């Protein structure tokens, strides 16, 4: 189809009528534009010829900076703003895009949550997994699993074809039992498991119930009258406090135990990660859980708060109380997500 410049001309005229004169016009299009379109828009919208730039639909979002740079977008912006800036070095970014385009492997990850109908609810977690995939030459096939649909009758069949399971954060009691079944399946079948915030608490509840024999273990968030709250309010909190003001928010330091999966992934013993949660690991159950094999691999500097748990006899069975997905970047995958996808690749190779 022939491209038309009239809609753009009309839009710019409307802007000018409001006292706004564009210096640069970026044209969204599905295919490259004809040279005549650039000339018309430059002439009739009163902008310099090189200030009309096309922004073409591309297969991968991360190609966009390279496409705009090819059109000299950054140099035009700097010139118009009288900024003397060197040409950008996009070597690393170009390499990233090439890796994204040429991934050789695929892993199948089950994301077990309660908001899976709206994928954007877990956007940061999904993107962090994809970032790890870019590093590992791997495409991530996410199976969106509604935890409410996991029952004792269905969970094994639903999870059997996965290479790994991730349980991200969430609030409220809906779908919790399905998440516990997912953690149980991963533990019993040595399937890589990554629990984030609520996902860590799920791993602790599951372990307390099925390994330690505390059959009624639960979280104070979901069962306030439960006798064995392995997850509960942190010390100093009170049920009388307005719950809106009791979240632990922001970055907190964490000390990692030597010789753990956590240390292997991070390569250090001191980290800082971002939190957003209200309930914590209940220290009254430290002894029985550790005696039965649960490793408390990360704690607050004063040792009072358990930040991470794991199983030492599993390739990757990790729960973290914080949100590592917030620190992942396309060209710098978070070490825990990288470790999780690596373990999923190894599990797949064993099949």
Residues near 329 by Cβ (< 8 Å), separated by ≥ 6?
A: 131
Q: Annotated catalytic, 119?
A: no
The tokens 């790890």 sit on which residue? 132
Contact 121, 115 (CB under 8 A): yes
The tokens 């009239």 sit on which residue? 6
Contact 59, 28 (CB under 8 A): no
Please spell the DSSP secondary structure of 144-209, one letter per residue: EEEGGG--TTTHHHHHTT-SEEEE----SSTTHHHHHHHHHHHHHTT--EEEETHHHHHHHHHHHH
Would you mind telling me the total number of residues written for the chain in this entry? 351
Question: Looking at 51, 197, 212, 254, which residue is catalytic?
Answer: 197
Contact 33, 57 (CB under 8 A): no
User: What tokens does 232 get?
Assistant: 């509960």
Question: Looking at 51, 323, 334, 342, which residue is catalytic?
Answer: 323
Question: Looking at 54, 273, 325, 342, which residue is catalytic?
Answer: 325
Q: Annotated catalytic, 291?
A: no
Q: Annotated catalytic, 10?
A: no
Active site residues: 197, 323, 325
């Amino acid at each position: 189809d022939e491209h038309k410049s009239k809609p753009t001309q009309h839009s710019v005229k409307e802007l000018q009528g409001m006292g706004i004169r564009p210096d640069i016009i970026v044209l969204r299009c599905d295919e490259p534009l004809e040279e005549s379109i650039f000339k018309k828009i430059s002439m009739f919208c009163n902008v310099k010829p090189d200030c009309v730039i096309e922004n073409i639909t591309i297969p991968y979002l991360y190609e966009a900076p390279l496409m705009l740079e090819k059109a000299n977008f950054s140099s035009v912006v700097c010139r118009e703003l009288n900024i003397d800036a060197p040409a950008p070095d996009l070597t690393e970014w170009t390499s990233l895009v090439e890796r994204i385009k040429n991934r050789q492997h695929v892993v199948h990850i089950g994301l077990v949550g309660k908001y899976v109908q709206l994928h954007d609810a877990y956007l940061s977690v999904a993107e962090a997994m994809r970032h790890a995939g870019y590093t590992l030459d791997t495409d991530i096939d996410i199976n969106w699993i509604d935890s409410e649909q996991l029952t004792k009758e269905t969970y094994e069949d639903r999870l059997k074809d996965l290479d790994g399971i991730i349980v991200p954060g969430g609030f409220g009691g809906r779908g919790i039992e399905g998440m516990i079944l997912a953690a149980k399946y991963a533990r019993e079948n040595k399937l890589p498991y990554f629990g984030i915030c609520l996902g860590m608490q799920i791993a602790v509840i599951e372990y307390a119930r099925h390994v330690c024999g505390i059959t009624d273990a639960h979280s104070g968030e979901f069962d306030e009258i439960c006798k064995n709250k392995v997850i509960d309010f942190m010390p100093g909190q009170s049920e009388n406090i307005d719950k809106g003001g009791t979240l632990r928010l922001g970055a907190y330091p964490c000390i990692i135990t030597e010789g753990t999966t956590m240390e292997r992934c991070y390569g250090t013993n001191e980290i800082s990660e971002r939190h957003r949660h209200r309930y914590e690991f209940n220290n009254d159950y430290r002894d029985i859980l550790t005696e039965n094999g649960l490793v408390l691999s990360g704690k607050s500097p004063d040792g009072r708060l358990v930040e991470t748990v794991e199983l030492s006899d599993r390739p990757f069975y990790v729960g973290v109380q914080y949100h590592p997905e917030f620190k992942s970047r396309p060209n710098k995958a978070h070490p825990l997500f990288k470790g999780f996808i690596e373990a999923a690749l190894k599990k797949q190779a064993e099949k």
